[in-house]
Copies of this chain bind each other. A is one copy, B any other.
Amino acid sequence: MSKKVSGFSKFNSEEKINWLANNYFSDKKKGIAILKQYLNQDQKLQDLHNEFIENTISNFYIPYAIAPNFIINEKAYAIPMAIEESSVVAAASLVAKFWSTRGGFQTKVISTTKVGQIHFMYEDNFEKLTTYFEEIKSQLFKITEPLTQNMRNRGGGIIDIELRNKTIDLDNYYQLHITFETADSMGANFINSCLETIANAFKNEQIKIIMSILSNYVPECLVRAEVTCDIKDFFEKDAEHYAQKFIQAVQIANIEPYRAVTHNKGIMNGIDAVVLATGNDFRAVAAGAHAYASRSGKYKSLTNAKIENGKFYFWIEIPLSLGTVGGLTSLHPLAKLSLEILQQPTAKELMQIIAVAGLAQNFAALKALTTTGIQQGHMKMHLMNILNQLEANVNEKEIIVEKFQGKTISHNAISQALHNLRTSS
């Protein structure tokens, strides 16, 4: 049996599934049933989802949940999150409530500039290149006018085109470094279309274009979110002690990359969940955020904390390139509904909401880590997952959860306890 296939993309959904079943399923009937069980009954809706990408054969479910009680700049939000990891939404909800009685979250957008680059090789002298660039620059703006017209009407467009000499890093290597404002759209298609049009007009016998592409590094598309309270309100007892410990945990993430990566991973749990739920691109956001965390030459925390004049401050600054129009935001019915739940935010408002989701997640993680430890909260969900895996019924679940309260949970121990329970009854 050859597992090679030609023209797979031309197969219809049924044929794709059958080919897969014939070649890769151990139990064909069962495998096909699983794929089909996840298809939507409404064929028109299923067709819509099928067309988002290529070779679609089913829908992968990510739990879609709500974290209520967020107060951001005095306004109430319930934040939709799409995430498969337990504890993330519970943590968001708890932290939202905690800060809702302490002034809520304060946020602001610092900047919204995005970047695209035309990378090229040029072997002649730099002065000649500069002259050529200065001569052609206004024309480069002009030829993109049909492309940028709509964006300019919405307050965006090309901000500047800059020639950059990078020959110190790589022989003959230069860039057109182009800055954009893309209003409420993420702008990837817009930026790439502009870049390719510009590159086409800019190239000549001596200028060899290597590639033209937007950058997902957006350190000037930056948002800040903050919480603050009197130290005494930080914790029910020993508030100052725990506030100090919290700050030490942030300091550690600032000097120790092994910790910083996990610290920021927790932040991204919150951020990616809202990015996904609103139809934005979490790979782009994650790449930009982690690269920003390493901008000093050392990979560091994206959040900071301090105590000043008896007050506790905790904040995040993170680059977020997001859209609330275009792309999946208006195509995926649940992404669209997420934006409705968030009260139809502009891209700038969405940046602030998502920064809050990240800060909240980090607050929950640091508070748990510096007090009870992370496992206490995780373990209950972990226990339920193990029980589901072992197909425990409602009654068995209750008995086992009771039995393991405060005890260390391992797959082995649960499996044993369930076995004992089943054989004894």
A421 interfacial by beta-carbon distance below 8 Å = no
The answer to whether B378 and A89 have CB atoms under 8 Å apart is: no
8 Å CB interface, A331-376 against B: 331-334, 337, 340-341, 343, 366, 369-370, 373-375
Hey, which chain B residues are within 8 Å of A60, CB to CB? Answer: 61-64, 82, 276-277, 334
Distance of A31 from chain B, by nearest CB (Å):
6
Distance of A248 from chain B, by nearest CB (Å):
5
A163 interfacial by beta-carbon distance below 8 Å = no
Interface size on A, residues (CB 8 A): 151
Partner pick for A37 among B42, B211, B341, CB 8 A cutoff: B42
The answer to whether A211 and B370 have CB atoms under 8 Å apart is: yes
**How many copies of the polypeptide does the oligomer hold?**
2
The answer to whether B61 and A53 have CB atoms under 8 Å apart is: no
Pick from A4-12, A227-235, A303-311, A398-406 the stretch touching chain B.
Answer: A4-12
The answer to whether B166 and A255 have CB atoms under 8 Å apart is: yes
The answer to whether B38 and A76 have CB atoms under 8 Å apart is: no
The answer to whether A213 and B3 have CB atoms under 8 Å apart is: no
Distance of A235 from chain B, by nearest CB (Å):
15
A117 interfacial by beta-carbon distance below 8 Å = yes
The answer to whether B170 and A255 have CB atoms under 8 Å apart is: yes
A1: nearest residue on chain B (CB-CB)?
A: B76
The answer to whether A258 and B115 have CB atoms under 8 Å apart is: yes
* Most chain B CB within a 10 A radius of its CB, from A67, A334, A408: A334
Distance of A9 from chain B, by nearest CB (Å):
6
Pick from A17-25, A124-132, A134-142 the stretch touching chain B.
Answer: A17-25
The answer to whether B119 and A252 have CB atoms under 8 Å apart is: yes
The answer to whether A374 and B213 touch (CB under 8 A), given A34-B337, A331-B389, A412-B149, is yes
Q: A16 CA to B331 CA in the complex, in Å?
A: 25
Q: A382 CA to B190 CA in the complex, in Å?
A: 11
The answer to whether B258 and A192 have CB atoms under 8 Å apart is: no
Hey, which chain B residues are within 8 Å of A49, CB to CB? Answer: 61, 63
* B-contact 0/1 string along A53-94, CB 8 Å cutoff: 111111111111111110000001010001111111110010
Hey, which chain B residues are within 8 Å of A370, CB to CB? Answer: 210-211
The answer to whether B333 and A34 have CB atoms under 8 Å apart is: yes
Q: A382 CA to B286 CA in the complex, in Å?
A: 23
A206 interfacial by beta-carbon distance below 8 Å = no
The answer to whether A287 and B261 touch (CB under 8 A), given A3-B78, A4-B76, A78-B23, is yes
The answer to whether A38 and B40 touch (CB under 8 A), given A67-B55, A84-B52, A217-B262, is yes
Q: A56 CA to B62 CA in the complex, in Å?
A: 10
Q: A34 CA to B20 CA in the complex, in Å?
A: 31
Hey, which chain B residues are within 8 Å of A8, CB to CB? Answer: 66, 68-69, 93
The answer to whether A340 and B31 touch (CB under 8 A), given A16-B66, A55-B67, A64-B56, is yes
A265 interfacial by beta-carbon distance below 8 Å = yes
The answer to whether A64 and B68 touch (CB under 8 A), given A286-B268, A340-B31, is no
A251 interfacial by beta-carbon distance below 8 Å = yes
A182 interfacial by beta-carbon distance below 8 Å = no
Q: A261 CA to B409 CA in the complex, in Å?
A: 40
A119: nearest residue on chain B (CB-CB)?
A: B252
Distance of A19 from chain B, by nearest CB (Å):
8
Hey, which chain B residues are within 8 Å of A288, CB to CB? Answer: 261, 265
List 4 tightest A-B contacts by C-beta distance, closest first.
A290-B290, A294-B294, A3-B76, A211-B369
**A173-B255, A193-B408 are known contacts; what are 10 more A-B pairs with Cβ within 8 Å?**
A25-B341, A49-B61, A55-B65, A119-B252, A119-B256, A265-B284, A265-B287, A265-B288, A290-B291, A297-B298
